[in-house]
Amino acid sequence: MRKRTLQMLLILLILFLVPQLLYNLGFISPYILSVLMELCFFAVSAVSLNLVFGIAGQFSLGQAAFMGTGAYVFGYIINRSPNWVVFVPALLAGGLAAASLGYLVGLPTLRLKGDYLGIATLALNQIFVVVIQNLNAVGGARGYILNLGQTFRQWWLFFGLAVISIFLMRNVVYSSWGRLMVAVREDEIAAESVGIDTTKAKIWAFVIGAFFAGIAGAMSAVYSSFLHPSSFNFIQSFNYMVMVILGGLGSLSGSLLGAGIYVALLEGFRIAKDYASYIPILGAITQNEYRIVFFALALILIMLYAPKGLMGGREFSFFKGKELERK
């Protein structure tokens, strides 16, 4: 147990230091570091959606609205005085606001099942967008500029927040709380009959998932310093669902992988095209406009050949709940 913790800390330290050092020594460009930052909040969001859909079995297509709530609330607060004292409260406020929205949305809609729940959350996502478009205090449809400069745009902050968030979610999943959610996903009638208040379990899953989606949203606000309603519409919710499914439903480490592949497919293309531009035909079809076309094709192919996602519900061993076994 002790050894495992040390190993894990060592790996995390390496994962943190390598990009930082490479960047400081000038081996990687600010662009690549910024892609890695993006990966951090994608991963948090994908894992939180996996907690709701993969673990608790509640099909949500409203992830972007929870992220948007976190982003806008965080942005509104931090914009008053962009300094480190305000940062943590603003971040938590973003998460809690998203969690509250999760509660309010979950209360009536979690009676619905499967596709219907997905449709309802998609609709609420879009209503959220229209409300923001009409909220002049945060710029409405024009978007909302955050005057943050580069203060918070630090690799250690993104990496640290991602590690803490994912660690906390992983612990919840590998605890009695997570077991109850899995029970609800597997068989609601059996769950009720062993004394589980399934409504409560679903709402908790929604609230916890929304909280971390809100944190991911706040991270995205730091990342881009500009919030626009269209960055949080249901199409964005699809993107997080894509990451979750690519990695494999119910596999938290799969969601990390899914987020990684998502970013690699989209951003890797930009990097690859610089090299491809020297080759005649390849150069012509690797202009930016082709980026999403290739991404879409890759997505279809992955689904055709690995319909259960790359991890297919399995978990990398460093994620597993070994603490729940007999030593």
Partner 1 sequence: MGASPASWKEAVVIQQIVNALMLGSVYALIALGYTIVYGIIRFINFAHGDIFMVSAYIVFAAVSYWKLGFFGALVAAVVGAVILGVTIEKVAYRPLRKAPKISLLITAIGVSLFLENFVALPLVMGSMPKVVPSFIPIISYTVGGVRFTSAQVIIFGLAVVLMALLGWFIRNTKLGRAMRAVSTDYMAVPLMGLSVDSIISSAFAIGSGLAAVGGLLYVIVYPMVDPFMGIMIGTKAFISAVVGGIGNIYGAVAGAYLIALLEVLVVAAGYSTWRDAVAFGLLIVVLLLKPSGLFGKFQKEKV
Partner 2 sequence: MKPVLEFANVTVSFGGLKAVNDVSFTVYEGQIFGLIGPNGAGKTTAFNAITGFYKPDKGDILFYGESIVGKPTWWISRKGISRTFQNIRLFKNLTVLDNVRIALHQTARYGLFDAAARLTPRFATREEEVLSVSAELLQSVGLYDEKDKIASQLPYGKQRELEIARALALKPKLLLLDEPAAGMNPTETRELAKYIKEIRDRLGITVFVIEHHMDLVMTICEEIAVMDFGVKIAQGKPEDIKNDPRVIAAYLGQEVEESA
Q: How many angstroms separate the CA atoms of 319 and 327, rounded? A: 17
CB of residue 292 to partner 1, shortest distance in Å: 4
Q: Identify the helix (H) or strand (E) that includes residue 20.
A: helix 2-24
Question: If contact means CB under 5 to 8 A according to the sort of partner, which of partner 2, partner 1, none does residue 123 touch?
Answer: partner 1
Binding site for partner 1 (CB under 8 A): 59, 108-109, 111-112, 115-116, 119-120, 123-124, 126-127, 129-131, 133-134, 141, 234-235, 238, 241-242, 245-246, 249, 287, 289-290, 292-293, 295-297, 299-300, 303-304, 307-308
Q: Which is nearer to partner 1, 295 or 319 (CB)?
A: 295
CB of residue 15 to partner 1, shortest distance in Å: 28
Contact 7, 228 (CB under 8 A): no
Q: How many angstroms separate the CA atoms of 204 and 145, rounded? A: 33
Question: If contact means CB under 5 to 8 A according to the sort of partner, which of partner 2, partner 1, none does residue 300 touch?
Answer: partner 1
Q: How many angstroms separate the CA atoms of 286 and 270, rounded? A: 8
Question: If contact means CB under 5 to 8 A according to the sort of partner, which of partner 2, partner 1, none does residue 131 touch?
Answer: partner 1
CB of residue 189 to partner 2, shortest distance in Å: 6
CB of residue 214 to partner 2, shortest distance in Å: 15
Q: How many angstroms separate the CA atoms of 324 and 264, rounded? A: 34
Q: Which is nearer to partner 1, 92 or 228 (CB)?
A: 228
Question: If contact means CB under 5 to 8 A according to the sort of partner, which of partner 1, partner 2, none does residue 135 touch?
Answer: none
For residue 127 the two structure tokens come to 């209503």
Binding site for partner 2 (CB under 8 A): 168-169, 171-172, 175-180, 182-183, 186-187, 189-198, 204, 208, 323-326
Nearest to 222 by CA among 147, 161, 153: 153
Q: Which is nearer to partner 2, 24 or 171 (CB)?
A: 171
Residue ranges of E strands in 115-185: 144-145
Q: How many angstroms separate the CA atoms of 300 and 174, rounded? A: 32
CB of residue 321 to partner 2, shortest distance in Å: 9
Question: If contact means CB under 5 to 8 A according to the sort of partner, which of partner 2, partner 1, none does residue 190 touch?
Answer: partner 2
Q: Which is nearer to partner 1, 196 or 306 (CB)?
A: 306
Question: If contact means CB under 5 to 8 A according to the sort of partner, which of partner 1, partner 2, none does residue 115 touch?
Answer: partner 1
Exposed/middle/buried for residue 275 (C-beta within 10 Å: 0-12, 13-18, 19+): exposed
Exposed/middle/buried for residue 259 (C-beta within 10 Å: 0-12, 13-18, 19+): buried
Contact 106, 100 (CB under 8 A): no
Angle at 225 between CA 45 and CA 105, to 5 degrees: 40
